[in-house]
């Protein structure tokens, strides 16, 4: 009988220790969740502050005032244009006269290599015998 009493008391001590360990783990995890929630709240507040500052810095009236103060720009008139003789010279043409167009040749090669029956994954393949 004494052995059973010692076994039962030992099991009760073991169960109490196990329940205490589970309680401490849950308390620790709850504290870490609360810490993370506080950190998330701080980060959201920082993001809201930065967005408000960005909105203030990006305000059109503020930018217009900075442009007026620091840039020497004049309003554009609809009649401002120049004569064609004042345009810069055309850049030199490096292609030899009569030589085939290299880009056009590449496009023609690609078109010749591609098969008209090629089907992509987004288009279902036509069933044999279907005519469109």
Contact 13, 6 (CB under 8 A): no
Kindly state whether residue 18 falls inside one of the protein's structural domains.
Answer: yes
Tell me 117's DSSP state.
T
Kindly state whether residue 107 falls inside one of the protein's structural domains.
Answer: no
CA distances from 118 to 105, 108, 110, 111 (A): 22, 17, 13, 12
Contact 126, 132 (CB under 8 A): yes
Kindly state whether residue 93 falls inside one of the protein's structural domains.
Answer: no
Kindly state whether residue 62 falls inside one of the protein's structural domains.
Answer: yes
CA atoms within 13 A on the CB side of 67: 10
Contact 119, 125 (CB under 8 A): yes
Kindly state whether residue 29 falls inside one of the protein's structural domains.
Answer: yes
Kindly state whether residue 23 falls inside one of the protein's structural domains.
Answer: yes
Q: SS3 helix, strand, coil % of the chain, rounded to 5?
A: 60, 0, 40
Kindly state whether residue 110 falls inside one of the protein's structural domains.
Answer: no
Kindly state whether residue 40 falls inside one of the protein's structural domains.
Answer: yes
Give first-to-last CA distance, the chain, whole Å. 93
Tens of pLDDT along the chain (132 residues) come to 789 999 999 999 999 999 999 999 999 999 999 999 999 999 999 999 999 999 999 999 999 999 889 888 887 787 777 788 888 888 777 777 777 777 888 888 887 776 556 655 565 666 666 655
CA distances from 3 to 14, 16, 21, 79, 109 (A): 16, 20, 27, 111, 94
Task: Give me the domain span that covers residue 14.
Answer: 2-70
Please tell me the total count of domains within the chain. 1
Global confidence as pTM: 0.44
Joined together, the tokens standing for residue 28 give 């620790």
102 vs 110: CA distance, rounded Å: 13
Q: What is the pLDDT of residue 117?
A: 61
């Amino acid at each position: 009988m004494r052995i059973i009493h010692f076994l039962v008391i030992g099991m009760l001590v073991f169960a109490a220790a196990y329940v205490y360990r589970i309680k401490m783990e849950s308390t620790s995890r709850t504290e870490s969740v609360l810490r993370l929630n506080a950190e998330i709240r701080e980060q959201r507040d920082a993001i809201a502050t930065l967005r408000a500052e960005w909105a203030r810095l990006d305000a059109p009236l503020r930018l217009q005032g900075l442009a007026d103060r620091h840039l020497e720009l004049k309003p554009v008139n609809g009649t401002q244009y120049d004569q064609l003789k004042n345009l810069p010279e055309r850049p030199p043409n490096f292609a030899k006269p009569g030589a085939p167009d290299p880009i056009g040749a590449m496009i023609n090669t690609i078109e010749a290599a591609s098969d008209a029956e090629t089907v992509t994954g987004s288009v279902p393949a036509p069933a044999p015998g279907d005519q469109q």
